[in-house]
Amino acid sequence: MEYTSGAASWQKAMRRAVAALLPRRPRQRRPGWSIGVPLIAAAAGLLFTTTATTAGGTALREDRRPELTQLIEDRRERVAASELRAARLRAEVESQTAALADTDGPISAERDRARASELSAGFTALTGPGVTVELDDAARRSDGTLPKGATNDDLVVHQGDVQAVVNALWAGGAEAMSIMNVRVLTTSAVRCVGNTLLLHGRVYSPPFKIVAIGDPAALQQALAGSEGVRLFKQAVEHYQLGYSEQVSTVSVPAFEDSTALRSATVPR
């Protein structure tokens, strides 16, 4: 019995010694969640309250594309209504001017002088030999992929492409020109918004049709010598954009935009 009791004491002593040599586990700290959860819940509640107040019963992430489409359509209707009203006013002015010209010599003389300038100013519709140029975006692939090495920007007609054709035709001696059947002058601005054309307050989608009256041979030679047109034709080969030239008898309408003088330069 004494031997057994001594052995047990010896085993306890050994366990205490081994325990003393082993590293103690660190005391577990209070989890951060116990403090963070109430704070997160309070922040979420504040966020939900602010969102509900801001929304005012409406959806904040509602798709606004239909609203934008309606806005564009409303503006187009306003422009069309304004153009009709302007046309009626011009007709009234012309009618009253004609009536006064029958009895007033100075008014009659000024009217005749203005009519003599209408042709060169572009206020008369013209028909004659010329060239029709058409630019178009590249056709989209059925699987939605792009040609190798191309971006979406490479597959559309840009403002510089249209301007290059217009400048070349003026340089080739064009007597009159229209874009999308709208008469343009040498001072008309050609602007693109995305892949659409903005001309005299209206938006046009490709293909863009440019008609010029003049010597067809001289017009085509000017197109062939234009650096901008040459670069576009290279894009036509690489990315399958659309480009065509056609010689025929063409017609351009009269200029119908505002004739108000915005600026002038005094020659020296």
Ranges of H-type helices in 102-137: 105-121
Of 39 and 4, the structure prediction assigns the larger pLDDT to 39
Report the pLDDT value the prediction gives residue 214, as an integer from 0 to 100.
Answer: 96
Report the pLDDT value the prediction gives residue 211, as an integer from 0 to 100.
Answer: 97
CB atoms under 10 Å from CB of 25, counted, come to 6
Peptide bond into 207 cis (omega under 30): yes
Of 90 and 214, the structure prediction assigns the larger pLDDT to 214
Per-residue pLDDT reduced to its tens digit, 28-60? 555 555 666 666 777 777 776 776 666 555 555
Per-residue pLDDT reduced to its tens digit, 112-153? 777 777 677 777 899 999 999 999 999 887 777 777 777 888
Report the pLDDT value the prediction gives residue 25, as an integer from 0 to 100.
Answer: 46
Of 192 and 92, the structure prediction assigns the larger pLDDT to 92
Task: Tell me, yes or no, if the pTM score tops 0.85.
Answer: no
* Mean pLDDT computed over every residue of the chain: 79
- Most confidently modeled range among 24-33, 81-90, 92-101, 163-172: 163-172
Report the pLDDT value the prediction gives residue 1, as an integer from 0 to 100.
Answer: 45
Secondary structure (3-state) at 129 = strand
**What does the block give as tokens for 81?**
């209504």
Distance separating alpha carbons of residues 214 and 222, to the nearest angstrom: 12
Report the pLDDT value the prediction gives residue 2, as an integer from 0 to 100.
Answer: 45
Query: Which range is least confidently modeled, 70-84, 195-209, 250-264?
Result: 250-264
Q: CA-based angle 44:49:53, to the nearest 5? A: 150
Q: CA-based angle 237:241:247, to the nearest 5? A: 90
* Beta bridge pairs of residue 250: 128
